[in-house]
């Protein structure tokens, strides 16, 4: 349960560093 939440937060942070790179 918390693993999916962390993955979603990581994806949001990663988007700030490299947006439109991992869709």
Residue 21 DSSP label? S
Q: The pTM is what? A: 0.31
Say how far apart CA 3 and CA 21 lie, in whole Å: 21
| Tens of each residue's pLDDT in the chain, 23 residues | 688 888 888 877 777 776 665 55
Provide the pLDDT for residue 3: 86
Count Cβ neighbours within 10 Å for each residue of 7-21 and write b for 16 or more, e otherwise: eeeeeeeeeeeeeee
Provide the pLDDT for residue 11: 78
């Amino acid at each position: 349960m918390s693993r999916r939440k962390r993955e979603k937060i990581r994806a949001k942070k990663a988007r700030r560093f490299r947006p439109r790179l991992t869709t």
